[in-house]
Amino acid sequence: MHTRVDPAEPAFQAIISAMTFSLGVCCDEQEIHHLAFLPPTDEVAPQNALAAEAARQLCAYLADAEFLFVLPLRPAGTPFQRRVWQQIAAIPTHHTRSYGEIAQALHNAPRAVGQACAANPYPVVVPCHRVLAAGGGLGGFARQTDGFLLNVKRWLLAHEGC
């Protein structure tokens, strides 16, 4: 769920700023519901303890790409999407995989993997930016092949030294 959302939307319990984008955190007291990339916008102070912890961890990652997230994520997606997200979560920092490599591991098609990546509700935490097109091309990001979100993908990959 990488879609841009109106940053004034009350669904965000926190918004943090990065270099060229912001991250919205939607959660309750128990689980993260989704994270969203936003155009650069004003930060919103965390509105509950989990939002504060998510903001702390996201800021730690933005300062150090080696940071490992430990956040309670609300179960989401289809069984296939969850299998793709598990494969993505296993990609180490500073490494990438192709849609085809993940598809082969799951005995499925690269396009289906790409669609599951685009549906990822936890970008950065489940690092779908580490999934590239065949031959190392960027591919898409959140159903986009250019513009704001692809620039976010470039930034994340550079931040991780990929």
Domain 79-160 part of CATH 1.10.10.10: yes
Q: Can you give the pLDDT at residue 148?
A: 86
- What average pLDDT does range 92-107 have in this prediction? 95
| Helices and strands, number each (H, E), in the chain | 5, 5
> Is position 162 annotated as part of the catalytic site?
no
Q: How confident is the model at residue 143 (pLDDT cuts 50, 70, 90)?
A: low
Asked if 126 and 84 count as a contact pair (C-beta separation under 8 A), the reply is no
Q: Can you give the pLDDT at residue 85?
A: 97
- Whether 9 shows a pLDDT value over 80: the answer reads no
Cite the residue boundaries of each domain of the chain with CATH code 1.10.10.10: 79-160
State the burial class of residue 158 (Cβ atoms within 10 Å of its Cβ: 0-12, 13-18, 19+). Answer: exposed
d(CA 143, CA 117): 9
pTM as predicted: 0.88
Q: Cα dist. 160→3, 15, 62, 91 in Å? A: 22, 22, 10, 12
Q: Can you give the pLDDT at residue 136?
A: 79
Report which of residues 107 and 10 the model is more confident about: 107
Q: Can you give the pLDDT at residue 135?
A: 83
Q: Average pLDDT, whole number, for the chain? A: 90
Q: Can you give the pLDDT at residue 147?
A: 81
- What average pLDDT does range 85-95 have in this prediction? 96
CA 15 from centroid of its chain's CA atoms: 14
Of 26, 27, 117, 128, the catalytic one is 128
